[in-house]
């Protein structure tokens, strides 16, 4: 493992040690004496981001040189990013066994590949989604608008989501399961255990 790179598998969307306090990942790591790049002083070490409420893999840089290299890899789209999502299925969904989604995201071209890993019930499916572009909220919009299968608990793009339930948990069923950057071993994170409770409900 390259010592200039810190790889973090966030196993839950709410990584704060005290859920009642809004604490950044940067602050938590620095408080534990983990060195971070200062290339971006407003977000030290942060090479890329996950939406608040999304769990999974993040790659952080410990020094400025490695940070610049990693940002270049993301910019040139050399990083393979795979997500898992629990989505709501219905008769009007555009969900095949697999496919390509090319729906623009906020007016910009966006490309995602998906496959259905499991039809958990009549109303829930688990998807594997690979993004080929890095638009903000891309997976969420492609699931909700491109496939008509909104991500469970994602109240921003699902009109039927329960706002009280979402705000209590501060998370939804989208997980960055793998990240593969050239020169770094594949980073993986298992899906959160709390998904089982969502499925049972």
Q: Which residues are catalytic?
A: 51
- Phi then psi for residue 197, to 5 deg, are -65, -40
9: left (phi over 0), alpha (psi -120 to 50) or beta: beta
Cα torsion angle, 151, 152, 156, 158, sign: positive
Q: Which residues pair with 125 in a beta bridge?
A: 87, 119
Query: 3-state SS string over 104-136?
Result: CECCECCCEEEEEEEECCCCEEEEEEEECCCCC
Kind and range of the H or E run holding 29: helix 25-31
Question: For residues 199 and 124, what is the distance between their CA atoms, to the nearest angstrom?
Answer: 8
Q: Which two tokens stand for residue 11?
A: 């196993």
Cα torsion angle, 100, 134, 168, 32, sign: positive
């Amino acid at each position: 493992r390259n010592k200039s790179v810190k790889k973090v598998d966030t196993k839950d969307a709410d990584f704060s040690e005290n859920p009642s306090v809004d604490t950044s990942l940067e602050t938590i790591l620095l408080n534990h004496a983990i060195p971070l790049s200062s290339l971006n002083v407003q977000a030290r070490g942060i090479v890329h981001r996950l939406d608040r409420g999304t769990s999974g893999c993040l790659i952080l840089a410990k020094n400025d040189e490695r940070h610049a290299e990693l940002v270049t890899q993301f910019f040139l789209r050399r990083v393979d990013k795979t997500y898992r999502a629990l989505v709501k299925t219905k008769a009007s969904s555009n969900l095949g066994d697999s496919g390509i989604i090319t729906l623009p995201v906020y007016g910009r071209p966006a490309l995602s590949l998906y496959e259905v890993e499991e039809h958990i019930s009549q109303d829930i499916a688990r998807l594997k989604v690979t993004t080929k572009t890095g638009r903000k909220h891309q997976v969420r919009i492609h699931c909700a608008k491109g496939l008509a299968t909104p991500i469970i608990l994602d109240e921003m793009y699902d009109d039927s989501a329960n706002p009280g339930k979402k705000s209590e948990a501060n998370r939804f069923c989208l997980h960055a399961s793998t990240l593969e950057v050239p020169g770094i071993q594949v980073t993986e994170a298992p899906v959160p255990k709390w998904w089982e409770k969502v499925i049972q409900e």
